[in-house]
Amino acid sequence: MTDPNVTTTGDTELQGDTVDGSALMGAAGAVTTPQDADAALDPGIEDPILTIENLSLWYGDTIALKEISMGIPARQITAFIGPSGCGKSTLLRCINRLNDLIDSVRITGDIRFEDGSIYDPAVDINLLRKRIGMVFQKSNPFPKSIYENIAYGLRIQGVNRKSVLDDAVEKSLRNAALWDEVKDRLSDTALGLSGGQQQRLCIARAIAVEPDVVLFDEPCSALDPIATAKIEELMQGLKSQYTQIIVTHNMQQASRVSDLTAFLYLGELVEYGATDQLFIKPRKQQTEDYITGRFG
């Protein structure tokens, strides 16, 4: 069911005005924002897998996101950066509709995944979250065996044939660079793994159901530098198969792993573009002030 407070149709509601959603798309499918004269907000992405259109979000009377418009390219890594409370995680959670679970939330605007709105009443939320998986800040393995953690999502989908599950578990653990470390103890509890191993296990669990997009909400914030390096290496290895979006407070991490970076401040998208350009020669003074540590 769609949240009755969510305004999403072929047209996008924005503070009482109606904007034709097609007007947000430029030539060759490149995303153009309502502020399309501002090159700092439009990296000219062609054929985005996700298109965020004039998205605003309120928690009760408090606005958390203000008219965000941007496109997310397929099979690249996009980073959301900004100080605490700027709306990074809120925006990330909109993409697979986790904010629907909060009663006080009201949303206007739209997010289009491939060719359809994620807020379409016909959308199956469980299928959407299968196709857009999520890895949280704190690793959250189930109190089950390593094997059953990976197989869980497949079992929910009705997959119970052992040979299929065996293949999927091995493939996912290999893709998460964890197979060699756990292959001889798959029946052991996942809670016995180290913090870094648990986070890689959660990544393996997310990709076992073969999503199109993987969302990472500060996946390394609780990890040591060695475990962080393994997660970052893993993300690079997965880039050829999955679209990835990462929220991070660590600007060095964003510069290392991402292809594009979006800087948010107080719920607004300040600048969005190629990571190298944004960190070396930002277009906005506010962006430069943030990445050079003048405020945070």
Residue 235 lies in a domain: yes
Distance CA 18, CA 110 (A): 12
Residue 296: the pLDDT is 65
Per-residue model confidence (pLDDT) at position 114: 86
Contact 131, 242 (CB under 8 A): no
* 8, pLDDT greater than 60: no
Tell me the pLDDT of the chain averaged across its residues: 87
With respect to residue 180, please indicate whether it lies within any of the assigned structural domains.
Answer: yes
Please, which residues bridge with residue 19 across strands? 12
pLDDT band at residue 91 under the 50/70/90 scheme: very high
Residue 6, pLDDT above cutoff 70:
no
CATH number of the domain that residue 223 is part of: 3.40.50.300
Three-class secondary structure of residue 60 per DSSP: coil
Residue 4 lies in a domain: no
For residue range 125-139, list pLDDT tens digits in order: 999 999 999 999 889
Task: Return all residues near 209 (Cβ < 8 A) that are at least 6 apart.
Answer: 130, 133, 153, 154, 157
188 within some domain? yes
Domain that holds residue 251: 11-291
Q: What is the count of structural domains for the chain?
A: 1
31 lies in some domain: yes
Whether 228 is covered by a domain: the verdict is: yes
Q: Structure pTM?
A: 0.84
Residue 39 domain-assigned (yes or no)? yes
pLDDT > 70? residue 123: yes
In this prediction, residue 152 has a pLDDT band, given cuts at 50, 70 and 90, of: very high
pLDDT in tens, 44-82: 898 999 999 999 999 999 999 999 999 999 999 999 999
CA-wise closest residue to 10 among 110, 113, 86, 96: 110
Q: Give the pLDDT score at 108.
A: 96
Q: Is the pLDDT of residue 15 over 60?
A: no
